[in-house]
Structure 1
Amino acid sequence: MRRLAAFSLALILLCAPAGAATLTSSIESTALEMGDSVTLIISLSGGDSAQPPDLTALTRDFTILDRRRGSRQAVVDGKPVTVNDWVLTLAPRRAGALTIPAFSLAGATSAPIRIDVTAAAQPAKEETRPLFIDVTVGKGTVYAQGEIPVYVRVYDSLGMRSGSINQIKAEGASFREEGQQDSYVRTIGKTRYHVVQQTYIMTPQRSGPIEIEPVTLKATIPVPYNSSPSEMARMLGRGNVPMPWLDGSLTRGQEVSLHSDKVTVEVLPRPAQAEGWFLPARAVTVRQSWSGDPARARVGETLTRTLIVEAVGASPNQMPPLQLPDVDGLRQYEEDTQTNSAVIDRQQGAALTKVIAVVPSRAGTFTLPPVTIGWWNTDRKAQEQTTLPAVTLTVAALPGAAAPTPQQAEAPATGATRSEDVPQPAPPPAAGSSILTAGLLSALAGLGEVWSRLKGGDAGWLGALALGLALLVALAFAPALLRRRSRTAGGAVPARSRLGFAPSAARAGSEQALTRAAKANDAAATYAAYLDLSRTATGRGLAEPAPRTAEFQAALRELRAHLFGAPGGHWDGKGFLAAWRKETGATAAARRKRRGPEGLRPLYPEA
């Protein structure tokens, strides 16, 4: 019986576990400063778990910078056991009394740990801090919607293996990166630093104090395994904790988290002495450029005027709108307006660029008024003005062109008008009018001859044939005569031909004139014939149809540049003629497509 009892006791001891699983949490220090990081080790011994502990409660007060898992063999109460470790690098989210919560795993629970976190002291540049981050606001005053540079610098004397900073932010302001990161070497005291700098542009959305939140640096620094705690590690809030189960993994580097101090920016309100559009700046300039000489302008010639306003210390949002008054005898069409950040004399600022097409509608002398920009001098704290002097245009009529009628010269401009759609001098008599007159006289003469033969008794088949031919000629020219009379009386717009122009003898004459002039490289005559065709096509007298092909658009631009731009150079009439023929083919194809399979004309043909 005793042997049975002893055997049973031995069996129970063998089957029982060596001990219950235990879960512990350990930390290297319970006193930290903001910006320091700390290593937390959660150890499970006497048990096994494939899942890590739940860390949700931990992330409320701490940022997890790094996490690793390892296993090792240890001796507990004289017996070998397997220990699973979860190694976490933590950075406190705020100052005060924080608690690392209890964890539960494999039926075991760890004890909570209290940590006291104090605010980081302002680091003096003279201190030998091996690694720190600094935020500095550029010099100068700033107003709402203005811009001011903010510099984020990382000072490194350790040789970081890697590092990153979070996005800079502040309530009531926006930031954008300016350029690429810059790096340089700087010596402070006896310490030589490698400095990495990123510049941001801060744009306040309101006046008053705006606080830039601390910027966080997460870095990996080299720490030798099994080295004794150093002054450097103490200053970074880290100690070298021996972890033999990691088998030297700490030689890969140690994670640290550092924070900059809060920075307050005072955003000034609009001064009471400021007038009109508020443009705070340190300097403002206004300049202009012209595509041609304003003193040698011509009627119908498009001059491009470019106005540039530059303001040092201003932002694009603060640039004023430019309203240009109307000038009798000149048409002004705004082509483009852009406001951008700019570097002006090595200083940050903004530039406004406005492009205007100026088209004289009649000959004479015209004055564009001065352009005045009011602005607030942030250095002198005073309202100032910068003025661009008035510009006088001396406009001559086109050579060989008749003076424009008042209706043509002062026709109202419509919205979205292209610079090419410019008023032109009154057209000369249609080139096909003489052809029409000659044809009509020939037809009448033929009729008279047939009538004479009939009166003389020669009523044979030859006389009948002559009469029929004469009637056909008269009928062929009658529609052209009716259309010409209709245009003279302000009648309906003529129907289009395969080119988009009126199917008349006048169009045929203009086409022939254009072909002859282009082959002779006569730019002025070619342009006059093209304008005549355009007037016939649109029925509006002044406007030109928009080109359908890129080739003809480029050819027109080259022709106008030759006629109205800088003098000199040879004009290629054959190239223009080839582009024009391609344009007519595209117009005819588009017209056939609009008609459809039945060949019906569109209900509302293009003007």
Structure 2
Amino acid sequence: MMRLMAFLLLGLMASQVAAVGLFARVDRTQLSIDETFELSLESQGSAVFGKPDLQPLDELFEVFDTRQVNQLSSSNGEARAITRWSITLRPRQTGYVVIPPLQLGDWRSEPITLLVQESLKNTESDQLAPIFIDASVDQESVYVQAQVILTLRIFHSVSLYDDSTLSPLQMPEALVERLGEPRTYEKTINGIRHGVIEVRYALFPQKSGELTIPAQLFSATTVANGSNSLFGSRSGRSTQVRSPSIPLTVKAKPADYPANTPWLPARSLTLVEAWSPEPDQAQTGESLTRSLLLKAEGLTSTQLPAIGSAQSAGLRRYPDQPSLANEVSGVGLVGSREQREALIPTLSGTLQLPALEVVWWNTVEDRLERTTLDERTLNVADNPNLAPPPAELPAATSVPAEQQILWPWQLSTVLF
């Protein structure tokens, strides 16, 4: 098993090292038409000259800035040149907009699709201030222990020093998880360009009823006109702004949810299995490794229950400790739980592994769901390496040598 994992790891590393070309990615794929975003182009492999042709972008995007970084990395004793271009863009139209393939020599990047939405018109007077905060949630009513995403956007039309802070989000009646690092971009409001600092949280209310998401305090120092930090002059004014508090309705677990079943309110849930080696190669006395992966959008890994194991006569089980992980995606947290166990058949013939089922509540469709793995049949063959040795014939009874020799004095005793 360790040899197989080492082989797969080496193959993955080799494929990464061998990857050459021009690769494109963006900092987000959904935005409004008055926001900027970052397009990154990265060349890997041999050293390249020149820069990518950005002319195909002009029809669909405004190009504001382009920055280039060159670096040299080493992997497995081989040097590799990497050049990265960071391009600030703003879309010219709404809807689904495709960043076209871009050319660098013989290399072409893959296209990327964006969803560009209409701008929300802001008319509140406090949003004309140099600094203000907008707070929003993706849903105003949520089930207990289900995920709700809080997004804070700090807008500033003036330059800020790097000493800005945001107060910690503390909610005793909810589990709070920050979703990645803050993102920065630009947005035009009423014809004025604003810098935006965006912070996202995943909240999991722990009790039903009415809940209030508290206001958050942002503190910063604005850069005064004429100040020059290069020569020690750092004049400015300290500013504090507070986000609005948000009421949240937390619903109890539905009455028709099965009793004595773990409560799993999720956007989606999957259960898959993997085998090494494949189960159709099962032999008595040989180990099979079965991996079960439970993954749910909108739940943390600690909320996921243990998955039933293979209870079957003729199998010895050796389970590993479960592996828990959380990923950050566009829809919030994605929790996963992986269970691995070694199965050793002790009998040849047909072995049945029972079906597995996970009951959960679909928060998107607002209904009960059941995700299952069908039962599996193992056809276990005899292991030729474990065949019993052939039976040996019983040895002939022999007379000890000392009983075959007749000494003279014994002969005389017999005669007389």
Counterpart amino acid of residue 166 in structure 2: I
Q: Is the 8 A contact 1:128 1:190 kept in 2?
A: no
Query: Per the alignment, in what secondary structure is the counterpart of residue 295 of structure 1?
Result: helix
Are the structure 2 counterparts of residues 317 and 382 from structure 1 closer, same or farther at C-alpha, using a change threshold of 3 Å? same
Aligned to 2:354: 369
Aligned to 2:134: 134
Counterpart amino acid of residue 396 in structure 1: A
- Which structure carries more strand by proportion? 2
Are the structure 2 counterparts of residues 351 and 400 from structure 1 closer, same or farther at C-alpha, using a change threshold of 3 Å? closer
1:558-597 equivalences in 2 (<5 Å): none
Aligned to 1:196: 197
Aligned to 1:167: 168
1:31-42 equivalences in 2 (<5 Å): none
Aligned to 2:26: none
Aligned to 2:285: 300
Aligned to 1:207: 208
Aligned to 2:247: 264
- Indicate yes or no: 2:391 matched with 1:448: no
**Higher Rg of the two aligned structures:** 1
Distance 1:296 1:175 in 2: 46
Aligned to 2:383: 398
- Indicate yes or no: 2:180 matched with 1:179: yes
After superposition, what is the alpha-carbon deviation per residue over 1:294-351, rounded to whole angstroms, capped at 9, x for unaligned?
1220001110111111222223243232223621222233212233323578653222
Distance 2:389 2:136 in 1: 72
Distance 1:123 1:215 in 2: 22
Give 1:428 shift: 4.2
Distance 1:314 1:362 in 2: 40
Are the structure 2 counterparts of residues 359 and 312 from structure 1 closer, same or farther at C-alpha, using a change threshold of 3 Å? same
Distance 2:186 2:241 in 1: 20
1:321-332 equivalences in 2 (<5 Å): 321-324=306-309, 326-332=311-317
Q: Is the 8 A contact 2:280 2:378 kept in 1?
A: yes
- Number of residue pairs matched? 281
Query: Per the alignment, in what secondary structure is the counterpart of residue 128 of structure 2?
Result: coil
1:221-370 equivalences in 2 (<5 Å): 221-224=222-225, 252-275=235-258, 276-324=261-309, 326-343=311-328, 348-370=333-355
Q: Is the 8 A contact 1:173 1:210 kept in 2?
A: no
Distance 1:130 1:309 in 2: 47
Distance 1:316 1:141 in 2: 23
Give 1:359 shift: 1.3
Identity over aligned residues, as a percent? 28
After superposition, what is the alpha-carbon deviation per residue over 1:531-579, rounded to whole angstroms, capped at 9, x for unaligned?
xxxxxxxxxxxxxxxxxxxxxxxxxxxxxxxxxxxxxxxxxxxxxxxxx
Give 1:452 shift: 4.9
Counterpart amino acid of residue 339 in structure 2: K
Q: Is the 8 A contact 2:154 2:198 kept in 1?
A: yes
Are the structure 2 counterparts of residues 319 and 190 from structure 1 closer, same or farther at C-alpha, using a change threshold of 3 Å? same
Counterpart amino acid of residue 208 in structure 2: S
Distance 1:217 1:396 in 2: 67
Are the structure 2 counterparts of residues 224 and 294 from structure 1 closer, same or farther at C-alpha, using a change threshold of 3 Å? closer
Are the structure 2 counterparts of residues 192 and 456 from structure 1 closer, same or farther at C-alpha, using a change threshold of 3 Å? farther
Are the structure 2 counterparts of residues 163 and 147 from structure 1 closer, same or farther at C-alpha, using a change threshold of 3 Å? same
Aligned to 2:155: 155
Counterpart amino acid of residue 342 in structure 1: E
Aligned to 2:48: none
After superposition, what is the alpha-carbon deviation per residue over 1:364-387, rounded to whole angstroms, capped at 9, x for unaligned?
011211111111111222112111
1:431-470 equivalences in 2 (<5 Å): 448=402, 452=405, 455=407
Give 1:399 shift: 0.8
Give 1:158 shift: 0.5
Distance 2:192 2:339 in 1: 52
Are the structure 2 counterparts of residues 214 and 400 from structure 1 closer, same or farther at C-alpha, using a change threshold of 3 Å? closer
Q: Is the 8 A contact 2:216 2:242 kept in 1?
A: yes
Distance 1:179 1:315 in 2: 14
Q: Is the 8 A contact 2:273 2:290 kept in 1?
A: yes
Q: Is the 8 A contact 2:179 2:333 kept in 1?
A: no
- Which structure carries more helix by proportion? 1
Gaps of 5+ in 1: 1-121, 226-248, 403-426, 458-607
Give 1:135 shift: 2.4
Distance 1:197 1:263 in 2: 17
Distance 2:141 2:299 in 1: 11
Counterpart amino acid of residue 323 in structure 2: Q
After superposition, what is the alpha-carbon deviation per residue over 1:92-146, rounded to whole angstroms, capped at 9, x for unaligned?
xxxxxxxxxxxxxxxxxxxxxxxxxxxxxx9838942211123222347533333
Query: Per the alignment, in what secondary structure is the counterpart of residue 336 of structure 1?
Result: coil
Are the structure 2 counterparts of residues 141 and 319 from structure 1 closer, same or farther at C-alpha, using a change threshold of 3 Å? farther
* RMSD over aligned Cα atoms: 3.4
Query: Could you tell me the TM-score, scaled by structure 1's length?
Result: 0.42
Query: Per the alignment, in what secondary structure is the counterpart of residue 402 of structure 2?
Result: helix
Query: Per the alignment, in what secondary structure is the counterpart of residue 280 of structure 2?
Result: helix
Distance 2:355 2:180 in 1: 37
Are the structure 2 counterparts of residues 347 and 166 from structure 1 closer, same or farther at C-alpha, using a change threshold of 3 Å? closer
Distance 2:330 2:351 in 1: 35
Q: Is the 8 A contact 2:284 2:345 kept in 1?
A: yes
Distance 2:380 2:329 in 1: 36
Counterpart amino acid of residue 143 in structure 1: Y
Q: Is the 8 A contact 2:150 2:200 kept in 1?
A: yes
- Indicate yes or no: 2:129 matched with 1:144: no
1:428-577 equivalences in 2 (<5 Å): 428=389, 448=402, 452=405, 455=407
